[in-house]
Amino acid sequence: RHTIFVSDWSSDVCSSDLIYLNPVLDFNNVFIHAEMPEMADMFSTGNQETAWRDGFFKPVPHFSMSREFLMDLRSIDVEAAYCRVEKPHVVIHGSRDELVSFAHTAGIVAKNPNAEWIPIEGGVHAFTQSGHEPNVSQIVLDRIGSPI
């Protein structure tokens, strides 16, 4: 039995148990027309124009994003692909995620009858930063049947 933990979308995980942690299920909502303020700053019109002009931009100092990646973000319908996931899976999402909209993700997850939605009250995008890592770890371990 294999379990794959996915913090962002991957279409190559079809034969394993799936547990998504604060997933990005709508590139447009998260990156292109970002709903959350921090992402809106990183993916501002100016930064996107820089990518088109120079071939890349740096949303944060330690990370570059290419023009090609931005083009992929605009062309991939992650929500539609996610809604076709037929394997039962778990989506764990922090209610105070500052990067990926909790409400928007909940709406997408509700469209997939194979999903189990587990909200983490007060959890931010990185569970380690909000002190929720032990709780999330236990939930994951409970789902895969392994003791701590």
Token pair for residue 126? 């990185």
- 95 burial class (0-12, 13-18, 19+ CB within 10 angstroms)? middle
Query: What pLDDT was estimated at residue 8?
Result: 44
Please, which pLDDT band fits residue 63 given cuts at 50, 70 and 90? confident
Mean pLDDT estimate for the chain = 85
